[in-house]
Every structure is written in structure tokens, then in C-alpha cells.
Amino acid sequence: MTTEATVKIDAKQVKELREKSGAPMGDCLKALQEAKGEMEAAFVVLRKRGMATAAKKASRTTNEGAVGTYIHAGGKIGVLVELDCESDFVARTDDFQELLRDVAMHIAAADPRFVGRDEVTAAHIEREKDVYRAQAAATGKPAAVIEKILEGKLAKFYEEFCLLDQPFIKDQTQTIAQIVAAKVAKLGENITVRRFARFKVGAAEWTVAQTKAAEAQQG
């Protein structure tokens, strides 16, 4: 019977997973061994580990970081985003700066309205539910089925409008939360999106969003 310890992993596989995930070489090797050499399964292993690491570090204070910008479409769309971490050393690394650029570019393209689910007010959620409930009720489906439909619609709402829930524009298999978690696992510090602003020339509105923690500090 083949075990993790006896699986032969080619150096090219390790390099490919490293390029795909950004994880350290040692972690890529271990993930490939655990996945018995299957690239996609190993990538999932790394993503799960990254989310677990991020969850463990989530309570750690992030008082350092950097502000990034992205200008798109010939100067028609502009984004400012603050990405925070625990030390100035990490904030100056290429990995952190790459994440900052990616998040700013994503915001320009995907137009999120909130940082995460926690920032969506109860009143906003209820308004959405009322709309979904009315739409579902018109189909004549039973109440229990309608509630299931509401859950699915609300999940879709978060995916569309909450930055951390949105599929990353450069890799639709990962959410923004997952690409942040991958950097947390690699850099060893908590990383958070604190706030962002998005402006579009000629638009009637602009988006300014921040976490509850940032809002509380202002208060």
C-alpha cells in the first residue's frame, strides 16, 4: 500500500505548485505527498492550511501595512485600498506588495460594496430578503423551499458584493479571503483588508467601505 512517505514527487511538480500557490517549497512538497502527487488536490490542501493558519492569527493586531492604488480604463476608474499586517518588515515584502496590488486591481474590476459579511447591516440584509422572499413566493413554492431559496440568494449576494467573498478575478477558483489567507500562511502574520474606496468617472455614486474595527476606531 502506498503511503505519503513513499510517494515519489518530481521536483518539477513542486516548482509548479510553488508557482501556482506561492507557498514555500517545503509546504508544497508535503502537500503533494499528502495528495499522492495530484496537483489540484495538493493545491486544495495548501488552501485549507492557509485558511486554518489565517483563522488562528485573526485575533492578532494589525497596526502596520500599506495603502495601494490602482487606476484602470485610461483613468476612468480609481481605487485606494489599505491592507494591514503586524510589522513594517512584512509590509515591505514583495509578497505583501503583490497582494496589495492584486486586491486593488480586483476592487477596480469587481466593484464590491463591503469589505466582508460583518459590514452588511441587518437592515440591508432584511431588504434583500424581502425582495427574494417576494420573488420566491410568486412561484407558489412551499415555505420551507422558499427559505432554502433565500439562503442561496443571500449567499449569492455576499459573493457579489462582499470583497472577501468574491472570486478573485485572476483565479476564479479562489476567493479574496483565500488569497489573503495564503499570504498569511506564507508570511506568518495576520493580514487584513481594513478599508477601500472606488471611484468611477461620471458615476452617480462612489464606494467607500471599511471594517467594523476601523469604524470603531474612528468613533
CB 16 within 8 A of CB 22: no
Q: CATH number of the domain at 64-117+163-218, please?
A: 3.30.479.20
Which grid coordinates are listed for 197?
474606496
| CA separation for the pair 159, 191 (Å, rounded) | 20
pLDDT of residue 157: 92
pLDDT of residue 6: 59
* CATH superfamily label, 4-57: Ubiquitin-associated (UBA) domain (1.10.8.10)
Residue with cell 495601494: 68
Which grid coordinates are listed for 126?
432584511
pLDDT of residue 2: 41
pLDDT of residue 149: 82
Helix 11-21 to helix 39-57 angle, to the nearest 10 degrees? 50
Which grid coordinates are listed for 43?
493545491
Closest-CA residue to 80 (of 90, 89, 88, 69): 69
Domain coordinates of the chain in residue numbers?
A: 4-57, 64-117+163-218, 121-158
Residues with Cβ within 8 Å of 42's Cβ and at least 6 positions away in sequence, in order, are 17, 28, 31, 32, 34, 35
pLDDT of residue 156: 92
Average pLDDT, 10 consecutive residues per value, the chain (219 residues): 59 83 79 88 82 82 95 92 97 97 97 95 88 80 80 90 96 94 92 96 90 80
- The CATH fold assigned to 121-158 is GTP Cyclohydrolase I; Chain A, domain 1 (1.10.286)
Residue with cell 466593484: 111
pLDDT of residue 14: 86
Q: What are phi and psi for residue 197, nearest 5 degrees? A: -135, 140
Please report how many Cα atoms fall inside a 13 Å half-sphere around the Cα of residue 195, on the Cβ side.
13
CB 90 within 8 A of CB 96: yes
